[in-house]
Chain A
């Protein structure tokens, strides 16, 4: 019994981790190819685009010729057609070639710093984000062979706080990177990034408190279940949901240090900000963490405001495996929409000035979220 529980836990953890990597890869690809489309460029379209069957598996052996023919037409040709298709779309370039290039690059460690702490920087930037996925529910409950399975790695009754805790730990990746860079660009980038993350965490925490008040639960699964039924139950249409959504969306863009909020890595002033001194896979890990964080924020927005896996006007049967699959697909569809939206905003809006960023965080978003909290509390009380 306990063995099955542990096995289920491991399978869940593995699947969620693969999903995280998949979402992050999707965001990487949209970032590369989508930015090209937005800027009226062609973008990555070469790697793998010219693969043809050609002379592969041609043989003079009469006995092997029929086998070679079958393998060529049924296996090789379709595979290479798919490779060509993905190559033209730039998928192979972004996900395979770039990763391979990063793995083969020299791992540069600046002089006079601890190599251990230098390696801990990207680790601390990625690990909390991946851990945060543990409390996110990804589909409705379903029953397999008598076991009710909840597609959520950890059923924590304080799931929302876990997200906040992991968010506050993610700051250390940035700080370590700036500290071990041994260089003024890194240090300035790290200071900007951590000040930005801490400032926007206030508005995030207050908005999370508002949502807890509205849903009456810290468990993300129960928050999704509270939005079942008609569209009017969705968080965004409930009370001051639209205000909470706007605050959380802006905070999400700032926390991921993206879009108009990318002062920490502004190329024109700071080379690359806090990860200036990183190369190869360590550099890519920062990007992986960033894209995983974008997907995480999209997931949070979907779960809080857009009904999670619920489809408007359609109610799925409970506890059936295919309903869970459909629900999961719906959830991921909504998440992908927000991922693309964030990337489009990042490539559309120009960068703020740093004082504008601080003003937005402290003088607009924080008071707004406090007022929002009070108004939401009054509305909840009057509805009871």
Chain B
């Protein structure tokens, strides 16, 4: 096994544990950033440089900045120690069983690699662009429209209508 794979897995697993075990929400968020960068490392190991960098730019660079910002401004306190209720216990154990079954099916399974492009082309930006704009052009454009709608929607929601000046022009 690749030494980088082992290193990245150690980082990814320990930071993922950190996300759920840390008491301070800010520390959890920082662990999540480390985790996302480690996942980007996996992409880089698979020769998918573009995906690796986009993972860092979008998730570690943009989304997590927002999360950290919100946590910083809310000045959240340490999470109180609470015992989980019966409902939470049932739900989480159901999910845990599902996860274990899923992993046991995956473990040792053979994956088909027939659809994978040759190693020289994998993940190169030119190759990715060609596939995106030919084979998957409809889904690509559809998601672009969806994102655009989301941006316009967010701008509309965030927009505050200026209040009309009353009396001697003083705003209320």
Which residues in A have some Cβ–Cβ distance to B below 8 Å?
114, 117, 156-158, 161-162, 164-165, 167-169, 171-172, 175-176, 178-179, 187, 190-191, 194, 198, 218
Contact = CB atoms under 8 A, between A and B. Distances in A.
Contacts of A157: 49, 124-126
B57 A194 contact: no
B72 interface: yes
B125 A158 contact: yes
A176 B68 CA distance: 10
A165 B53 contact: yes
Contacts of B72: 175, 178-179, 187, 190-191
Nearest to A156: B49
A97 B162 CA distance: 56
Interface stretch (B1-9, B59-67, B81-89, B134-142): B59-67
A18 B121 CA distance: 34
Given A117-B30, A158-B125, A175-B68, A165 B61 contact: yes
Contacts of B30: 117, 176
Contacts of A187: 72
Nearest to A165: B56
B56 A158 contact: no
A172 B34 CA distance: 11
Contacts of B69: 175, 191, 194
Contacts of A156: 49
Contact of A158 (B26, B37, B49, B68): B49
B54 interface: yes
20 contacts: A157-B124, A158-B49, A158-B53, A161-B125, A162-B53, A164-B57, A165-B53, A165-B56, A165-B57, A165-B61, A168-B61, A168-B65, A169-B56, A172-B33, A175-B65, A179-B68, A190-B72, A191-B69, A191-B72, A194-B65
Contact of B65 (A114, A178, A198): A198
A268 B88 CA distance: 52
Contact of A218 (B27, B33, B56, B125): B125
Interface string B132-162: 0000000000000000000000000000000
Contacts of A179: 26, 68, 72
Interface in B19-39: 26-27, 30, 33, 37
A55 to B, nearest CB: 57
Given A175-B68, A187-B72, 12 more contacts: A158-B53, A158-B125, A161-B50, A168-B56, A168-B57, A169-B61, A171-B65, A172-B33, A172-B68, A175-B69, A175-B72, A191-B69
Contacts of A194: 65, 69
A171 B65 CA distance: 8
Nearest to B50: A158
Interface string B62-105: 10010011001100000000000000000000000000000000
B139 to A, nearest CB: 21
Q: Interface on chain A toward B: helix, strand, loop, or mixed SS? A: helix
B70 to A, nearest CB: 12
A175 B64 CA distance: 11
Nearest to A216: B126
A44 to B, nearest CB: 38
B154 to A, nearest CB: 14
Nearest to A205: B57
Nearest to B51: A158
State the 4 A-B residue pairs at the shortest beta-carbon distance, nearest first. Answer: A168-B61, A165-B56, A161-B53, A165-B53
B49 A164 contact: no
Contacts of A164: 53, 57
Nearest to B65: A171
Nearest to B68: A175
B62 A168 contact: yes
A157 B54 CA distance: 13
Contacts of B68: 172, 175, 179
A235 B125 CA distance: 22
Residue among B27, B33, B53 with the highest chain A CB neighbour number at 10 A: B53
B148 to A, nearest CB: 13
Contacts of A165: 53, 56-57, 61
Contacts of B61: 165, 167-169, 171
Contacts of B27: 114, 117
Contacts of B125: 157-158, 161, 218
B54 A161 contact: yes
Contacts of B37: 169
